[in-house]
Structure 1
Amino acid sequence: MKISIKAIAFVFCTYSTFLTSFAQTAKPIVFTIDGQNKAQVIENFGAAGCWFSEGIGKYWPEQKKEQIAEWLFSKSFDKSGNPKGIGLSAWRFNIGGGTAEQGDSSGIKDFRKRVESFQNADGTYDWNKQAGYIWFVKKAKSYGVENLIAFSNTPPVHFTQNGYGFKTEKDYKSNLKADKYGAYAGFLADVIKHFDAEDLHFNYISPVNEPQWDWSNKPGQASQEGTPWRNEEIYRVTNALDSALTSQKLTSKIMLVEAGMLNYLYAGSGLANRQIQNFFGKDSKLEVRNLTHMSDFIGGHSYFTENGDSSMVKIRKSVADTAQKYNVKFWQTEYSMLADGFREGTKGKRSAIDCALFLAKVIHHDLVVGNASAWQLWNSYEPGSPDFDTRYFLIALKPNEKHTDGDYFQTKGLWSFGNFSRFIRPGMQRIIVDRSDKLTDLQAAQDVMLSAYTDHKGKVVVVAINYSTVQKAVKLDLKNPGKAGKVKRYVTSEFENDNLKLYPDQKLKDTIILPARSVTTMVVE
């Protein structure tokens, strides 16, 4: 039997119309939002400007780097009411280790991942170093970014045991010379003090990064700066840094521990594991809670902990439970799709909206299940396509060979992240939400995920992720709504112009349709 193309098209259109009609007429999921039922306070949403900030900030044409900065930092709207940027409230700045000065002898093949050091080997300083990185720090400050975070991947190379900016032995010990803990801490404090005088105050300083990795590759080669640290070594450098900050009368807080995976925060028996228990346990010999400059949170990275919804939920529940037990906040301080969890069992390239939705799903689970008080991304920009496998970045770059100019492209991930970062501002508090369909966190991970936040004035911000392939109907049951009447909606979807796009206002009592495969932010004033 032959079936005509026209008949197939008719059946397809009829089916599509049925799905749309069904979504619009089906009983909506009712989300009850009671502002009295609160969870954690949200402190910031941020991103790192590593590697490619130097070339862009130092050499790229003004118009290009200004547009990149606007996309990242702006809280303004265009004439149609669409956000001009994602309004980051934190910016991560990498204090370099001096591998750029070493050139090819650094062992880091990609010149863009070598970073200058402010301190020379003789102990003098050159504050003209890292000019491109600093351009972005200054730009973040000018846009009103609330939190500047300085972090170090390696001590300066003249303080390391092997003279490299990365470890070459697989002993999982720090590359810092045993007699240079004070010198390294003093260097970090000097950097903070200098930029304080330049009116660039770093709220936080992170002296170690992903201490569980050995950072070695082939003999004398690595992909970037880095060093492992054992818990005892982290304790020692943290105490040294606390003393250095105190002696220089600085106010920056110390940020620990940037664990390479969330599991390391609460589990394991290695030399850089169970870090919540080790650094915040009252009976631990390594407790740092009471140091003058110690922050009230512990930071970990969500890499490699999202391969399957069950694992995603289980790991974050363990983080939240352990952090609560030891009375410490949790910050998610780095994430991109390094592993293949974002493929969710598929092969081949993943579309930009698929990547954007997976990013939103990880953020949702870190906030709702992990109870994260902050969420920060790696990386703001990297070379790549804006259309497929946008797994590492918010802005895709196509730089020239010397990285002195190039093209740049917004991605769906940029605006998906913006559904959170632009509207959930520092100091807002998450509201625990009840849903009428009673789906668990695990069940909702392939359906509609929704979280809500409020400020002291009563504004409510709701972020809904429709992970399904059909439209979904929801209703917001806002308890004690006061005079709230209208809901502003900002949508990121597969459609070209749906980049945190303002949709028509709706009444609070209305049923709201979430487009298929989309992220929608709803603002109730």
Structure 2
Amino acid sequence: MKLFDYKFLTLALSFAFVGCSDEGTPEVPDSGNDEDIPEVSVSKVVSINPTEKYQTIKGFGASDCWSPSFVGKTWTNSRAAITELLFSSEIVEGQPKGIGLSQWRVNLGAGSAEQGDASGIEDKARRAESYMTENGSYDWNKCEGQRYFMSRAKELGVPNFILFSNSPLVQYTKNGKGLSNSGMNSNLKDDCYDDYAKYMADVAKHYTDEGYNITHISPVNEPQYNWDSGQEGSGWTNDQVAKLARELDASLTANGLSTDILLGEAGDWEYLYKVKNEQERSNVISAFFTPGSSAYVGDLQHVNNLICGHSYWTDGTWDGMRDVRLNVHNKAVESNLELWQSEWSMLGDGYSSSEFVGYDAATEMDIALYMSKVMHNDLTVAQVSSWSYWTSMDVSRWGHKNRFLLISLVPKGGESGDIAEEGSYRATPTLWVLGNYSRFIRPGYTRINLTMNENMNFFGSAWISPEGDKIVAVYSNLSDKAVKLVDESEGWSSESVSVKTYTSSLSKNLKERVVPADGDVYVDANSVTTVVYQLN
């Protein structure tokens, strides 16, 4: 539906930012004594052009590793509210109840939880259940905590579910465990590739029959690492991943499923486009999508020109992360591939440059603002069409703050307590900043051109709805001065465009502001602000 001419829209969404200098600060006009109007602004010029389009978003997500297995089962007083924070799109009296994730990544555990201490995984919170019993049958009553989160996600409107595997089932591994001692090679027994593929497809079939939209199965996670301690996992060569993908493709077809296979899950972006460390498990795009390669899978029915990677280790500086993301984008375009970013948390390469204050001095908001840098460059430079955070919730140990989580959990007895014993929880700024994207940029929205003189302290992207009736722009302001967007276009009126902003900062959690017809749009200092233009 085209509500009015895009040429007018381009004009209407061209803004001049009122500037200030050491010689004086311009007065900020009164707008109904709105307490949210900041006192200081700086100069910027932004132009949004809806006719110039890029990738269409498939979703924003997070994973259920590892704590939801316990929270969903035993935190009975808190779990419903926690799921609302993640999945709800409802806005009540100007306050979003949650961040409206549109993808939920579900771990297909290897069964190390059933092994207990014999699993070799010291932290029980890093062991995972499976649906397979000792006699090889399926028990769909297992994985209770994960099933709770899946059911609540579906109930609250999450449209897409992705199943992913860190390790093959312990019944099928060479050492009988979920962690590996096979080095760079797969821990999966040579004669069990078809068995494990059947298991993954059977789980997808079960949940599809239960009404879940299982869009993808990711059979291998970060194959560039050996995973010999700490959690479930296995190394894999490209040829071994391809062998499993072929078996999974056959099993999905046999089950009559439309579910696709999500390949990659590379430990960082560079593994996708160049030889890094071992040749046998890097340069992944060329290995999987070059006809004639021993690992070629581009002709499989359920592999639909898609590859994914993780944003770890390549995000320490603004220029560095942009260079890497441009490289992976170019390689994906060359191979005609859609690109997804399927895992990020602030693991990184030390973040010791002058661009970050350091872990000790950082506030939780500093960490969330840095995340917005990574998200912005993944979305606008790598041009990913899906972006997912790693752990939706966890216990913040050892001064990690919110580097690895969206929701901070404190079990009964404190951070060192038993995760199975319900305690308290708290939404952190990483949740709300992710929500600046996930709540408002919905599946089917397309990125459109936003032109401005961006830098590492002020940047943004713009998106248009499938119907063409709404534009969403997300701005990050990492400076200590607020920015005011002043409408200088002729013909602008509240009858054609209504505007709301949603701001996340140290003191605001996606706080809504309705912009008056003759009012101005602000981006607070040290904030991420979503501007929603309703074109009607």
TM-score (norm 1): 0.89
The 8 Å contact of residues 306 and 338 in structure 2, kept in 1 or not, is answered as yes
Cα 1:19–1:46 change in 2 (3 A) is: farther
Please name the residue that 1:127 is paired with: 140
Q: Does 1:213 align with 2:225?
A: yes
Please name the residue that 1:49 is paired with: 64
The 8 Å contact of residues 352 and 388 in structure 1, kept in 2 or not, is answered as no
Please name the residue that 1:225 is paired with: 232
* Letter paired with 2:481: V
Deviation at 1:71, TM superposition (A): 0.4
Deviation at 1:166, TM superposition (A): 1.1
Mapped partners of 1:267, 1:477: distance in 2: 47
After TM superposition, the structure 1 = structure 2 runs for residues 268-417 of structure 1, keeping only pairs within 5 Å, are: 268=275, 270-342=279-351, 344-347=355-358, 348-384=360-396, 389-400=401-412, 401-402=417-418, 403-417=420-434
Cα 1:316–1:129 change in 2 (3 A) is: same
Please name the residue that 2:511 is paired with: 501
Please name the residue that 1:175 is paired with: 187
Tell me the alpha carbon deviations over residues 179-216 of structure 1, each in whole angstroms, 9 at most, x when there is no partner.
Answer: 11011101111111222222233111111000100111
Deviation at 1:64, TM superposition (A): 0.7
Cα 1:385–1:182 change in 2 (3 A) is: closer
Cα 1:477–1:378 change in 2 (3 A) is: farther
Tell me the alpha carbon deviations over residues 299-335 of structure 1, each in whole angstroms, 9 at most, x when there is no partner.
Answer: 1000111111121111011111111111001000000
Mapped partners of 2:141, 2:59: distance in 1: 29
Please name the residue that 1:469 is paired with: 480
Mapped partners of 1:479, 1:105: distance in 2: 72
3-state SS of paired residue (1:51): coil
Aligned match for 2:172, one of 130, 135, 159: 159
Q: Does 1:31 align with 2:43?
A: no
Q: Does 1:40 align with 2:55?
A: yes
Tell me the alpha carbon deviations over residues 9-55 of structure 1, each in whole angstroms, 9 at most, x when there is no partner.
Answer: xxxxxx99966869978673221111110000011000001111111
Aligned match for 1:73, one of 87, 98, 105: 87
Please name the residue that 1:11 is paired with: none
Mapped partners of 2:202, 2:219: distance in 1: 13
Aligned residues with identical type, % of pairs:
38
Mapped partners of 2:437, 2:490: distance in 1: 22
Deviation at 1:345, TM superposition (A): 5.0
Mapped partners of 2:23, 2:129: distance in 1: 58
Cα 1:17–1:191 change in 2 (3 A) is: farther
Mapped partners of 2:399, 2:95: distance in 1: 22
Cα 1:72–1:481 change in 2 (3 A) is: farther
Of 450-459 and 385-394, more deviation after overlay is shown by 385-394
The 8 Å contact of residues 395 and 410 in structure 1, kept in 2 or not, is answered as yes
Cα 1:325–1:476 change in 2 (3 A) is: farther
Mapped partners of 1:16, 1:137: distance in 2: 54
Mapped partners of 1:342, 1:18: distance in 2: 35
Q: Which residues of structure 2 form unaligned runs of 5+?
A: 1-20, 29-37
Aligned match for 2:258, one of 245, 251, 256: 251
Aligned match for 2:441, one of 409, 414, 424: 424
The 8 Å contact of residues 465 and 518 in structure 1, kept in 2 or not, is answered as yes
Cα 1:408–1:27 change in 2 (3 A) is: closer
Q: Which residues of structure 1 form unaligned runs of 5+?
A: 1-14, 217-221
Mapped partners of 1:361, 1:467: distance in 2: 9
Cα 1:255–1:34 change in 2 (3 A) is: same
3-state SS of paired residue (2:281): coil
Mapped partners of 2:130, 2:503: distance in 1: 42
Q: Does 1:448 align with 2:458?
A: yes
Mapped partners of 1:345, 1:88: distance in 2: 28
Mapped partners of 2:340, 2:84: distance in 1: 25
Mapped partners of 1:26, 1:363: distance in 2: 25
* Letter paired with 1:425: R
* Letter paired with 1:89: S
The alignment yields a C-alpha RMSD, in angstroms, of: 2.5
Cα 1:16–1:190 change in 2 (3 A) is: farther
3-state SS of paired residue (1:97): coil
Deviation at 1:150, TM superposition (A): 0.5
* Letter paired with 2:444: G
* Letter paired with 1:247: A
Mapped partners of 1:310, 1:493: distance in 2: 25
* Letter paired with 1:501: K
* Letter paired with 1:461: V
Aligned length: 493
3-state SS of paired residue (2:513): strand
Deviation at 1:282, TM superposition (A): 3.8
Mapped partners of 1:476, 1:322: distance in 2: 39
Please name the residue that 2:109 is paired with: 96
The 8 Å contact of residues 204 and 252 in structure 1, kept in 2 or not, is answered as yes
Cα 1:25–1:184 change in 2 (3 A) is: closer
Cα 1:462–1:294 change in 2 (3 A) is: same
The 8 Å contact of residues 301 and 333 in structure 1, kept in 2 or not, is answered as yes
Of 481-490 and 308-317, more deviation after overlay is shown by 481-490
The 8 Å contact of residues 42 and 483 in structure 2, kept in 1 or not, is answered as no
Please name the residue that 1:108 is paired with: 121
* Letter paired with 1:243: A
Q: Does 1:263 align with 2:265?
A: no
The 8 Å contact of residues 356 and 413 in structure 1, kept in 2 or not, is answered as yes
Deviation at 1:120, TM superposition (A): 2.4
Cα 1:114–1:469 change in 2 (3 A) is: same
